[in-house]
Structure 1
Amino acid sequence: MTGHDEHRSLLTLLQVGCIQAPETLEASEILVADGRIAALGQNLDIPRSWPVRRVEARELIAVPAFIDQHVHVTGGGGEGGCGSRCPPITAGEITAMGIGTVVGVLGTDSISRTPADLLAAVRGLREAGIAAYMYTGAYRVPPPTLTGDIQRDLAWIPEVLGLGEIAISDHRSSQPRPDELARLVSEARIGAMLAGKRGICHFHLGDGRRGLAPLRRLLSDTEIPAEQIIPTHVNRNPTLLEQAADYALAHEAAIDVTAFDEPGEGLSAFAAVVRLLERGVPVERITLSSDCNGSLPEFDQQGNYSGMRVARNTALISDWQRLVHERVLPLESALELISGNVARVLGLHHCKGRLAVGFDADITLLDENLQPRQTFVAGRRLHGGE
C-alpha cells in the first residue's frame, strides 16, 4: 500500500504481539478509526467490505506513544552569541524516539526567538502529524506572550497549554520576586480555567543556592494548588534532587526529571529516578522530559560563558529503557513516566497517555529491547514500517 493510500484508508488494524496500555491487556489487535482507538481485542470481527489498512507487527509491543513536555522546537541556546543558537528539531527526530506529543518551550533567548516563532514551529510539526503544543512565555519576567496577556494566550490559542519555562535559582533568570511569581501563576490559572485547560507553570531550575525555595514559598503563601506548578531539571545536582524529593512529598507535587545527554555534576535521569524512589516519592509524581535542542551551556565560576553542546532526546529513551532493563520499575510503571503521568500533568489525560477506546491513536511499537520501531500519531504512521 502506498503512502497516499495509507492516509486515505478510513480504518487501520494493528496486529501486534502484545499491548501495554500501560497495564497488560488480553488483546493483540487495535482498530483505529478517525484518529482514535475504536476497539481493542483478539481476532476482531471486521466486515470484509470495510476499507481497512492492516499493519502486521506481531513481534512488537504496542504502548502509548511517549509524551515529551519540554522541547526547544525552535532551538534554544544563544548564551554565547548568535553563533551559539541551537537548530530546530524535526518531526523525524521526534518520532524516531517513539514520541508522539511534544510541548515547545522558549528559554534564555526570547529576543531573536519569540512566542510567535514558537507557535509557527508547533503548527509546522502539527502539519507533519505530531501532536504539538507550547507554553507561552520564556525565562524572563515579565514573560513574552502572543496576545500581550497570559490569560488571553491560554484562553484563545488552542496550542498553548501553560506558561514556561520561567527561570528561577539561575544567574540567567530575571530574579523574580515572590509577588511576581504569584501573579504569573494566578494569571495562568485563571486563563486556563476560562479555556478548560490545566494551565501549568513550567519552572526551569538552575544551580542557584535558593533551589526550590521560591516554589515552596509560593505554595505556602498562596492558595495556588501544587498541580499548577511543575519544576523541571530537578536532577541538575544532588542537593537540588534531595530538595525535589522533599518538595514532592511535602506538597504531594509532581516533579520533572531531565534526561541530560551528559549529566556532568548532575545525575542522569536513571540515577535520579532511582534516588527519588528510594526517598519514597511515588511513581505517579515523577515525569521525564528531554530538554532536546536546547543548549547545554558551560559557565565558569564567575558566570562567564565557556562553551555549549546541543541536547538531544536519545538519552530520554535510553535512560527510560534502563529503568526497565535493570528492574528498577516494571514496564507498566515505567511507561507512566513518559506517557500517563505526563498526560495528567498537562491536562491531556482524557485523550492521551494510555491505549483505550476513545483515546487518540497515539501508539508506539517497541521491539523486545524496548527500542521504538514504529510510531503512530492519530492513527497515522510517522516512523518505521514499510
Structure 2
Amino acid sequence: MIPSDVCKAGLMTLLRVGGINSPERLEQTDILMAGGRITALGRDLDIPRGWPIHVVDAHHLIAVPAFIDQHVHVTGGGGEGGCGTRCPEITAREIASMGIGTVVGVLGTDSISRSPADLLAKVRGLGAEGISAFMYTGAYRVPPPTLTGDIQRDLAWIPEVIGLGEIAISDHRSSQPRQDEIERIVSDTRVGAMLAGKRGICHFHIGDGKRGLEPLRRLLSETEIPADQVIPTHVNRYAALLEEAADYALAFNATVDVTAFEDAGDGLSAFDAVSRLLARGVPPELITMSSDCNGSLPEFDTNGTYLGMKVAKNTTLIADWQRLVREGVLPLESALGLISTNVARVLGLHARKGRIATGFDADVTLLDSELQPQQTFVAGQCVYDVRTTE
C-alpha cells in the first residue's frame, strides 16, 4: 500500500518499471513521486480511488538515477578563433534526451563576451524548462570573474553557484596563475562554501602543458586543503597525463574527472581512460565522467596558432558509458557511479541526488535493454520522452 502520510494534494506520478538500480539493484519495481521527491518505493503499490496520480507503465524499462553532467558549456564555449567561432548554447532537450537531469554550467576561455551573469541567466532558464541546473563562478582566468565581485559572496548569496571553475592550468590559454594565487582562490572558495553550507568544489581545467597536475599536487601537499575540494578535469587529454592522474588519485585518495571527447585525437576516449584508471588500481568511486558539451575542441599548431575547431556534444558521454557496461569493464551499478552517485558526492549534492531512494529528488531516467534513455524525469516531471520526439 502507498503510505497514508503521502501528500494527497497535487498531481503525483507512479512509475511501474521492470527494475530499479539505485545504483544497486533493488527488489522494488514501483516509484511514487510527489512534490519533486521520491515518496515511496514498493511492488504493486495500490492506488487509492480519487487520488490524482498519473501512472506510467514502463515494465520493459529499467529505472536509474538521472545522470549528472558536472561540466557543460550551457551558454556555449569557444571563441579562440574570434567571434565567429563561438559555440551555440545547449537546449534543455539536448540535455534530457541523454538521460541527464542535472548539469553544472561553466565558462571557459571567453569570459569577455560571455559573463557569469549570462551563465546564471541560462542556468535559471534551464531550470524553468525543467532541468536541475547549477553553475561554477569564475572562468579560465585568475582573478576569476564573479557575479558579486567576490567568490565567497557568490557562494553565499547565489543559490545556483556551487563552486569555482573552470580554472585553467597547464594550458597556454590560462592566465598562468602563480601557486599562491591558486591557493588563495581555492581557500576563498572553501570558506565561502562553508558559510553557505555547500561543498564548494574547485573545478580545474587541465591543459596539455608540461606542468600537468603539479600545481594541484603541490596544493594538496603543501596546504591544509582537503582533496575533495579540488576536481581536475580533462585528465585523459594525453596518455602521460592520465598516468599522472592515476598516481594523483591513489596518492591523495582524490577524484579525477574524465572527459568524453568526441574526437580524442592524441588523447584517450573516456572508455579507454576509465579502463586504464581501473587497471591502475584507481577505485571506480574516485572516477567521474563529464561531457564538456557545447565547448570548443580547438586545434592549435606547435606555436599556439589557432587552426580550427569542433563543438563538443554530450552524446559521446553516454556512448562511452554504455560501452563500459556492454563490454563488462564495470557492472551497471558501479558504472552508474561515474555519471550519477560519484558526481553527486563530488558536488555536495549526495543527500538529494544520485540515488533512487525515498526522500531524494525525483530525478529518474528510464533505460531500455540497450541502456538508451527513453524517458527522463526531473523533480517528478517528465522532461523527455522518446515517443513524443521521434
- 2:314: which partner in 1? 313
* TM-score where L is the length of structure 2: 0.96
Please say which of residues 49-58 and 74-83 is displaced more in the overlay: 49-58
Distance in 2 (CA, whole Å) between partners of 1:263 and 1:314 is 14
Distance in 1 (CA, whole Å) between partners of 2:323 and 2:157 is 41
- 1:97: which partner in 2? 98
- 2:79: which partner in 1? 78
Q: What do residues 20-60 of structure 1 show as CA deviations (whole Å, max 9, x unaligned)?
A: 11111111110011010011110112311211101111100
Distance in 1 (CA, whole Å) between partners of 2:108 and 2:253 is 27
Distance in 1 (CA, whole Å) between partners of 2:163 and 2:190 is 9
Q: What do residues 91-145 of structure 1 show as CA deviations (whole Å, max 9, x unaligned)?
A: 0000000000000000000000000000000000000000000000000000000
- 2:53: which partner in 1? 52
Matches within 5 A, 1:71-150: 71-150=72-151
- 1:219: which partner in 2? 220
Distance in 1 (CA, whole Å) between partners of 2:141 and 2:317 is 27
Distance in 1 (CA, whole Å) between partners of 2:102 and 2:151 is 23
- Which amino acid in structure 2 is aligned with residue 297 of structure 1? P
- 1:361: which partner in 2? 362
Matches within 5 A, 1:231-250: 231-250=232-251
Distance in 2 (CA, whole Å) between partners of 1:36 and 1:56 is 19
- 1:375: which partner in 2? 376
Give the secondary structure class of the aligned counterpart of 1:335: helix
- 2:267: which partner in 1? 266
Distance in 2 (CA, whole Å) between partners of 1:16 and 1:48 is 21
- Which amino acid in structure 1 is aligned with residue 35 of structure 2? D
- 2:33: which partner in 1? 32
Distance in 1 (CA, whole Å) between partners of 2:244 and 2:383 is 39
Distance in 1 (CA, whole Å) between partners of 2:115 and 2:12 is 39
Q: Gaps spanning 5+ residues in structure 1: where? A: 1-7
The CA RMSD over aligned residues, in Å, is 0.8
Give the secondary structure class of the aligned counterpart of 2:228: helix
- 1:295: which partner in 2? 296
Matched, 1:338 2:374: no
- 2:5: which partner in 1? none
- Which amino acid in structure 1 is aligned with residue 178 of structure 2? R
- Which amino acid in structure 2 is aligned with residue 99 of structure 1? I
Percent identity between matched residues is 75
Q: What do residues 238-273 of structure 1 show as CA deviations (whole Å, max 9, x unaligned)?
A: 000000000000000000000000100000000000
- Which amino acid in structure 1 is aligned with residue 281 of structure 2? G
Distance in 1 (CA, whole Å) between partners of 2:370 and 2:308 is 35
Distance in 1 (CA, whole Å) between partners of 2:46 and 2:330 is 36
Please say which of residues 38-47 and 245-254 is displaced more in the overlay: 38-47
- 1:3: which partner in 2? none
Please say which of residues 50-59 and 69-78 is displaced more in the overlay: 50-59
Q: What do residues 178-218 of structure 1 show as CA deviations (whole Å, max 9, x unaligned)?
A: 00000000000000000000000000000000000010001
Distance in 1 (CA, whole Å) between partners of 2:209 and 2:45 is 56
> Are the equivalent residues in 2 in contact too, given 1:9–1:53 (CA < 8 A)?
no
- Which amino acid in structure 2 is aligned with residue 154 of structure 1? L
Give the secondary structure class of the aligned counterpart of 1:94: helix
- Which amino acid in structure 2 is aligned with residue 143 of structure 1? P
Cα drift, residue 9 of structure 1: 5.1
Give the secondary structure class of the aligned counterpart of 1:47: coil
Distance in 2 (CA, whole Å) between partners of 1:283 and 1:359 is 23
Q: Gaps spanning 5+ residues in structure 2: where? A: 1-8
Distance in 2 (CA, whole Å) between partners of 1:51 and 1:178 is 58
Distance in 2 (CA, whole Å) between partners of 1:71 and 1:135 is 10
* TM-score where L is the length of structure 1: 0.97
- Which amino acid in structure 1 is aligned with residue 169 of structure 2? I
Distance in 2 (CA, whole Å) between partners of 1:95 and 1:251 is 34
Distance in 1 (CA, whole Å) between partners of 2:42 and 2:316 is 33
